[in-house]
Amino acid sequence: MIYLYTHIIIIVMKTPILTPKLERLLEGVGEQIKLARLRRKLSSEQVAERAGINRGTLAKIENGYPGTLIGNLLNVLKALGLENDILQLASDDELGRKIQDANLDVKNRAPKR
| H-assigned helices in 9-64 | 20-39, 44-51, 55-62
Q: Which of the pair, 26 or 111, is modelled with greater confidence?
A: 26
Q: What is the average per-residue pLDDT within 22-43?
A: 97
Give me the long-range contacts of 38-47 (CB less than 8 A, separation at least 24): 40/80, 42/80, 47/76, 47/79, 47/80
20-86: CATH architecture = Orthogonal Bundle (1.10)
CA–CA distance, 70 with 64 (Å, rounded to integer): 12
Instruction: Report pLDDT for 89.
Output: 85
Q: Which of the pair, 5 or 62, is modelled with greater confidence?
A: 62
SS3 content of the chain, % helix, strand, coil (to 5): 55, 5, 40
Average pLDDT, the chain: 88
Given a contact cutoff of 8 angstroms between Cβ atoms, the answer to whether 15 and 66 are in contact is: yes
CA–CA distance, 55 with 3 (Å, rounded to integer): 26
- 43: pLDDT strictly greater than 90: yes
Domain boundary assignment for the chain: 20-86
Give the tens place of pLDDT for each residue, 51-103. 999 999 999 999 999 999 999 999 999 999 999 999 988 888 888 888 888 87
Rg over alpha carbons for the chain, rounded to the nearest Å, is: 18
